Amino acid sequence: MSAIQQSTKAKYPPVPNFIGGAFVGTSGEHLEVTNPADGSVISRVPLSQNAEVSRAAEAARAAFPAWSAMPIKERVQVFFRYKTLLEKNIDGLAALVSEENGKVDSEARAEVLKSAELTEFACSLPQITAGEVLEVSKGVECRVERYPVGIVASITPFNFPNMVPNWTIPNAIALGNCMILKPSEQVPLSATRIAELLREAGLPDGVFNIVNGGQATVEAICDHPDIEAITFVGSTRVAKIVYRRGTASLKRVLALGGAKNHLIVMPDAEPEMTSSNVVASMSGCAGQRCMAASVMMAVGQSDHIIEKMVATMRAMVPGKHIGPSSRARRRSGSSATSPRRRRRGQRSSSMAAATPCPAKRTASTSVRRSSIM
């Protein structure tokens, strides 16, 4: 039975952690998980503490010797099957992304397909990571061998609940590591389905674990002595915090921060292509991706391009091109912030609530004019 199933109080029951191959509930503090389309509560997510992180680390440590000793050609067989399951279940996975994140279906499906593509790359690792033996002089060899790091953790944001976890999961695990995932507490349902599919693909118990939570969970991950490496995707401010805290205990840390993208449009730009691309960049994925355009500088006589952008934007249909959160606000006739945004503001101190693009607004961008030309 799926860990994501119907409940009488909310659409889904409280989100469990996934430790040692089993879904584990917790009685501690929980946060509500809402659908950004209408603000309805669809589940609750636990705010795990040090104890849950330690249990996940123990499970990963127990699984590491056997998993790391397995030849990489055997390890990647799990991900051949996992890729097939991602493609087979794309309808349900995309629907879950849309429901908890607010993307339109086409964007959610593209995200899941990207996860399958990332997994396909991991399947090629036996050829990419082969060792080398160099004969540097008579009777002297230089040998290059690769070994798993150990237990690694990944802290992921809310804007790509399926794809960003798969930036790390296939590669880290296929290379012989065991892993702890801490997804954004705003979009924990996709991570639960990922765990189910990995288990169905034959991944041994304890190799992959999920600990849900907020700032305390992230701090516990940064400080835990058995965790050797951390990947983080989030705001630049929090990326710096995670990097400093993780490296202070000699962990390897890859911390990816936010981006602020500016577009410069020249007067001789092709109007159709420019207007459609700028609007798509600004509005796609609810404006919450690192490459979303937040500022466009129109140089010289560019009014005709701006007018084309306005026409393109007016032709967009909420719920089809922009996402359900915009549609819900338009129905209400209010320009107030969405429930998702209010929740983010209320928990701005949470390390895990940070988004890679925190300053971007849904379906909005500013235009600056320049008289350089």
Task: Tally the residues of the chain.
Answer: 373
Nearest-angstrom CA–CA distance, 56 and 212:
11
Residue 134, classed as helix, strand or coil, is: strand
Take residue 308 and report the two structure tokens written for it. Answer: 């084309």
Tokens 């516990």, residue located: 220
Burial label for 41, CB within 10 Å (0-12, 13-18, 19+), is middle
Output the six-digit token pair for 280.
């798509």
Own/partner pairs for 249-258, CB < 8 Å, 24+ apart? 249/222, 249/223, 249/225, 251/222, 251/227, 252/149, 252/228, 253/229, 254/229, 254/230, 255/230, 255/231, 256/231, 256/232, 256/356, 257/356, 258/234, 258/290, 258/355, 258/356, 258/357, 258/358, 258/359
- The SS3 call for residue 211 is coil
State phi, psi for 92 to the nearest 5 degrees.
-70, -40
Enumerate the active-site residues. Answer: 290
**Tokens, residue 33:** 């998980």
Task: Report phi then psi at 145, rounded to 5.
Answer: -130, 150
Residue of 268, 355, 320 whose CA lies nearest to 105? 320
